[in-house]
Amino acid sequence: MSAAPRSARDEILLNVRAALRTARIPADDSTTPASAPRSPLESQPPVAWRARFLAELALLGVTVHEAPDEIAVADRVVTLIGTRRLLAWPDPALPAAVAARLSLLPAGQRLAAAAPRSELATAEIGLTTVDAAVAETGSLLLVSSADHPRTASMLPPLHVAIVRGRDLLPTFRAALERLRDRIPLASALHLITGPSRTADIELQLTLGVHGPGALVVVLGP
């Protein structure tokens, strides 16, 4: 009596079982793999990183305000906030001059990070610094933690990010090296490259569906 023909499912399972029977764990190879080539930008001075960063932000449609000192940074930030409801990182995570100016905002304008979700959803502008900025791509890296809540950069429709000179690095590799010890302790690592974009709906590019529709960078000294 001939055996019943096998279904496609049976064939797939047989192939998987055969592969498992012959599978081998590769022997440990102590040979050090060749390192990836480094970007020419890494050997250039910080002034070149800044120029590249500004050029990449322009291509991404990011508004940039350059400020010569911390007071100018604080002035620009307050101007951008205006009368909007603000969701910001805690004061210790912000430049001292910015934190001092935020303390003068009218009561109720700045939302507490621990506020109910329904209240956080009313925020019109989010304010953060960055943990690193990548000149090569115009990207911002934010390490989420208790004092760096992700809601400030993801929930409001407008995200204002303060980038200080010491935060600007030439490449993503350099940024990861800087943050090597902090990333394992973080709840998430956010890589922000311009406003939130999606093309899921009829392949039409739309801003702000999965995050802020506008990004503003205040670039300090």
- Could you tell me the residue ranges of all domains in the chain? 47-89+131-196+205-221
- What pTM was computed for the model? 0.78
Q: What is the mean pLDDT of the chain?
A: 87
Higher pLDDT among residues 71 and 31, named by residue:
71
pLDDT value for 93: 95
Q: Does domain 47-89+131-196+205-221 have CATH number 3.40.1360.10?
A: no
Higher pLDDT, residue 20 or 83? 83
Main-chain phi, psi angles of 214, to 5 degrees: -145, 140
Q: Which residues pair with 148 in a beta bridge?
A: 145
168 pLDDT higher than 90: yes
Under the banding of pLDDT at 50, 70 and 90, the label for residue 177 is: very high
Higher-pLDDT residue of 6, 125:
125
Question: What is d(CA 49, CA 169) in angstroms, rounded to the nearest whole number?
Answer: 7
As a whole number, mean pLDDT of residues 89-112 equals 96
pLDDT exceeds 50 at position 29:
yes
63: closest CA among 174, 168, 138? 138
CB 86 within 8 A of CB 105: yes
Given a cut of 80, whether residue 204 has pLDDT beyond it is no
pLDDT at 28: 58
